[in-house]
Amino acid sequence: MDIADWLRQLDLEQYEAVFRDNDIRAAVLPSLTAGDLNDLGVTSVGHRRQLLEAIAALRTDAPSAGSLTQPLQSSASRPSASDRSRTSMAERRQLSVMFCDVIGFTKLSARLDPEDLSAVVDSYQSLVATTIARFGGFIARYVGDGVLIYFGWPEAHEANAERAVRAALAVIDAIGQTPVRAESLQVRIGIATGLVVVRESIGTGEARQQTAIGETPNVAARLQVLAGPNSVVIDAVTRRQIGGLFDCRDLGLVALKGLHEPVPAWQVVEQAAVQSRFAALRAGAMTPLIGREEEFELLLRRWQRATAGEGQLVLLSGEPGIGKSRLIAALEERLRGEPHQNLRYFCCPHHQDSALYPIVVHLEQNLRFARGDTPQESLRKLEAELVPVGTSPEDFALIAYLLTVPVDDRYPRFDPNPQRKKQKTFEALIRGLTSRAHRQSVLILFEDVHWADASSLELLDKMIDVLTDLPVLLIVSFRPEFQPTWVGLALASLLTLRRLSQ
């Protein structure tokens, strides 16, 4: 498959050069995510959606269940001869490896006709493949009802362990919500992270496949055996790398077949309700802030202006890992003794197509929504938070709709037109912010905006429009590839973090 021809068929040939410069080949194309397209500079939401739909169409050409032991390689995504030549040499990689299989598959095989069983497995594999692709996973091969998946190969991504765990939970949700050919399946998943050597295995022609050699895939397969129905078990390295982003239950030391000594293991329960991604990944006390005195003083001066009623916007730019979140954490620590409100929103690379994702997560955490809450319990929590501060019934209904909380006849129905409903939701959220600011100074942190969805950026525009006369400091952090439209505003300060000197 020729990438240039594929782009031309979509009338998107303007991206040919950037795809070529970033080594986007046919083998890589089906695993591209919204985050990858954003990193490639596809800033148009319409073009991103068009590309994602075309990429999803490529994935639907996955192999049938009749070839369960072959890697996921459709005719559209099969590596070219040059790709196979490039990957034929052994390559050392740090991977997160996931092994997923169906519970009770032997009984299912005995109960179903072979053709019906083949259809069930084919649908199951397609569901897993579609879900995994959203998180940048690569399906190395199918083994009966099992699926072996790599995170970190063939393309390296940030936070492979986190991607693997999020993908595992998403697979469980997808299997639970979508009966496969009228069969209610349950899966179990094991994840391990470590150094492997990726090389081509034995076989000829299309039977050749990339295989990760090392202890990590074996550990993932053994951990999968320990997992209960619809649960995920991880190793120590994965647990360390995901930090506090997920709630985990310690399983203690477990004996795994083939290993000389027991190893620690954890069961992933659910995504944790964290206010700060930075804090969740870095447990314990922080080291002193070094080499950022000028930047820190600028933030303090902008805060003083804001508390005097002159709203301020700080655009904080810097490379990954250079210290944006650490600088923000230092400001939060300094202001801890001052009376103020702190609103934190963080964008996620896995939810760039989820409208207002940072806003929804912030509200759910502040309202202490729990996974097992009934609609009535969620409604009571929402009322306890919004009614005492004078939220109008219309605004309440709009925010409830945003959080998918059903309301009763006490609240008005709103305009069914999606665009007008969105604008009214924006207005309700802005009124809530204005009401807060009139009661007390507000520090708003909007982190990793390079991953923001289009609706969140639109809301951010509206928030900035009302800042001028409010006691609010809004800090927006992003990577250099993001081009903010707010540079040059009277209330805006651009703060670019440079690398520290020796």
Report which DSSP code applies to 264.
E
Between CA 278 and CA 328 the distance in angstroms is 10
Bridge partners (DSSP) of residue 467 are none
* Shared-domain flag, residues 124 and 246: yes
* Shared-domain flag, residues 245 and 339: no
User: Please, is 16 exposed, middle or buried when counting C-beta atoms within 10 Å of its C-beta (0-12, 13-18, 19+)?
Assistant: middle
Q: Where are the alpha helices (DSSP H) in 196-292?
A: 215-226, 236-242, 277-281
In a domain, 158, yes or no: yes
In a domain, 502, yes or no: no
**Kind and range of the H or E run holding 198:** strand 187-200
Residue that finishes a domain, picked among 17, 33, 59: 59
Between CA 306 and CA 299 the distance in angstroms is 10
Between CA 7 and CA 203 the distance in angstroms is 33
* Shared-domain flag, residues 305 and 263: no
In a domain, 15, yes or no: yes
Q: What's residue 208's pLDDT? A: 44
* Shared-domain flag, residues 257 and 291: no
479-491 pLDDT per residue, tens: 999 999 999 899 9
Q: Do you know the residue count of the chain?
A: 502
Closest residue by Cα to residue 171 from 99, 120, 106 = 99
Residue that finishes a domain, picked among 240, 272, 304: 272
CATH number of residue 293's parent domain: 3.40.50.300
188-221 pLDDT per residue, tens: 999 999 988 876 554 444 434 557 778 898 899 9
Question: Total structural domains in the chain?
Answer: 3
In a domain, 201, yes or no: yes
In a domain, 358, yes or no: yes
CATH number of residue 36's parent domain: 1.10.150.50
In a domain, 501, yes or no: no
* Shared-domain flag, residues 86 and 40: no
Lookup: tokens for 124: 């199951």
Residue that finishes a domain, picked among 272, 306, 332: 272
pLDDT in tens, the chain (502 residues): 678 878 887 888 888 888 888 878 887 788 787 777 877 888 776 787 788 878 877 765 443 333 333 333 333 334 444 444 444 456 788 899 999 998 888 888 888 888 888 888 888 888 899 999 888 898 888 877 889 999 988 877 778 899 999 999 999 988 887 676 667 888 999 999 998 887 655 444 443 455 777 889 889 999 999 998 999 999 999 999 888 889 899 999 988 887 888 889 999 998 876 655 666 566 556 678 888 999 999 999 999 999 999 999 999 999 988 889 899 999 999 999 899 999 999 898 878 888 999 999 899 888 888 777 888 899 999 989 888 888 898 999 899 999 988 888 888 877 678 888 899 999 999 999 999 999 999 999 999 999 999 999 999 999 999 999 899 999 999 999 999 999 989 999 999 998 888 7
User: Please, is 164 exposed, middle or buried when counting C-beta atoms within 10 Å of its C-beta (0-12, 13-18, 19+)?
Assistant: buried
* Shared-domain flag, residues 292 and 370: yes
Q: What is the extent of the structural domain holding 141?
A: 67-272
* Shared-domain flag, residues 38 and 83: no
Lookup: tokens for 467: 């800042």
* Shared-domain flag, residues 232 and 328: no
* Shared-domain flag, residues 117 and 135: yes
Residue that has been written with the tokens 């309440």 in this structure = 396
- The sign of the torsion formed by the CA atoms of 446, 450, 455, 459 equals positive
In a domain, 486, yes or no: yes
Closest residue by Cα to residue 440 from 324, 351, 309, 332 = 309
Between CA 479 and CA 317 the distance in angstroms is 5
CB 26 within 8 A of CB 78: yes
* Shared-domain flag, residues 165 and 292: no
Secondary structure class of 217 (helix, strand, coil): helix
Q: What's residue 239's pLDDT? A: 93
Bridge partners (DSSP) of residue 195 are 94
CATH number of residue 156's parent domain: 3.30.70.1230
**Kind and range of the H or E run holding 115:** helix 114-133
* Shared-domain flag, residues 310 and 423: yes
* Shared-domain flag, residues 24 and 86: no
Between CA 359 and CA 366 the distance in angstroms is 11
In a domain, 283, yes or no: yes
CB 150 within 8 A of CB 138: yes
